Structure 1
Amino acid sequence: MTGEEIVLGPLPKGITPAGEGKVWNVLGHRYSLKAASESSFAFETYDPPGTGVPPHVHPTQDEHIHVLEGVFTLYLDGQWETAGPGDTVRMPKGLPHAYYNRGEGITRGLFWVSPAGRLAQLFDRLHDLTDPAEVVRLSALHDVEFLPPGAVEGA
């Protein structure tokens, strides 16, 4: 991980150059910071085949994914969907959702949440952790609630 802990304030003007900025490694995913402020938090994901984020809820944040590469398999409030390059996925606060890379190549997406909440601070805590149970525990302390294993068929 590069840089200090993120302190949120008003959105600063400027450009986040490609390949620069804070990077987190979370259970096989690479998340790269694109922008952070009180009102929103944006990051790019790099997801190898066979990875995913199990069903969870953001009770206070709307979340979006703009698919850049590959195909995401998504669980959205009881339905399974797929989204490919150029598609934008909308997940309102309180909506149970998950995403997986079930293909043979990588997936990349631009994710953002609004308001930012404590997601950047959560990523700081999750960086390089290898214990999924600890990821779930820390997530709950940062306003991300994972559904119990088996709560969603096909997850």
Structure 2
Amino acid sequence: MKRRSFLKSAAAFLPAAGLDPMAFAGLPGADAPPQGMVIGAGKDRLGEAHSRGYSSILFKVLPRETSNGLFVIEHMNLVNGGPPLHKHPNQEEYFYLISGEVRFAVGDKRLTLHAGESILGPRGIPHTFAAVAGKPSHMLISFSPAGKMEEFLRATAIPNPPTEDAAFWSKFDIELVGPSPFKA
């Protein structure tokens, strides 16, 4: 029996046997997409829609597909706005700008990135971003390891407005540092 067929059969059997399928979600390859799976332009990995109010977010690579090693999202139509200043104690956040202009704060640095440029938000270093007003932007963001970022983005998606409560953010292993230096 091929591995994929076995995994599908096992997934169907687990609930009937009284076992929690999520207990097996972290096993390498358990939820891996078929090799070479293409996720189309403007498409979410699961066909869902996500937004934090300042952009549309598409999930491209899910944590469960990489044993929590990586989570990749695409921000489309990023407009003026962005998250508050925050830091991740256990993961790096990498930004690649596809189009437009985005302002970044990483540690003490304040800079504007243009299409084709990228920047790393190292673990433990406060960072944030905001699109330049009037210029919708498009970028890829990856988190390594993935941590609880998928859960965080689901918990703060519209209609649940992003909250700037430090205790809430800490549930997702993110430290809220303060407001964005780019807030108008």
Q: How would you bin the TM-score normalised by the shorter chain?
A: 0.7 to 0.9
User: Aligned to 1:52, what secondary structure does the other structure show?
Assistant: coil
* Structure 2 Cα separation of the partners of residues 148 and 122 of structure 1: 18
Which amino acid is 2:70 matched to? S
Give structure 1 stretches of 5+ with no counterpart: 1-6
Give the count of matched residue pairs: 146
Query: Which residue is 2:163 aligned to?
Result: 132
Which amino acid is 2:148 matched to? R
- TM-score of the superposition, structure 2-length normalised? 0.70
* Structure 1 Cα separation of the partners of residues 60 and 40 of structure 2: 9
Which protein has the bigger helix share?
2
Q: Name the % identity.
A: 19
Query: Which residue is 2:52 aligned to?
Result: 26
Instruction: Give the structure, 1 or 2, with the largest relative contact order (CA under 8 Å, sep 6 or more).
Output: 1
| Aligned pairs (5 A) from 1:48-59 | 48-59=78-89
Residue by residue over 1:31-82, the C-alpha shift from the partner in whole angstroms, topping out at 9 and shown as x without a partner, is 1111113110000012443212221001111111110111111101011011
The reply to whether residue 115 of structure 1 matches residue 145 of structure 2 is yes
CA contact (8 A) 2:130 2:182 kept: no
* Structure 1 Cα separation of the partners of residues 70 and 81 of structure 2: 25
- TM-score of the superposition, structure 1-length normalised? 0.82
User: Aligned to 2:138, what secondary structure does the other structure show?
Assistant: strand
Residue by residue over 1:75-134, the C-alpha shift from the partner in whole angstroms, topping out at 9 and shown as x without a partner, is 010110111100011111111101011231101100001001110011111111125336
* Structure 2 Cα separation of the partners of residues 154 and 33 of structure 1: 26
* Structure 2 Cα separation of the partners of residues 124 and 101 of structure 1: 22
User: Aligned to 1:132, what secondary structure does the other structure show?
Assistant: coil
How large is the Cα RMSD of the aligned pairs?
2.1
Query: Which residue is 1:79 aligned to?
Result: 109
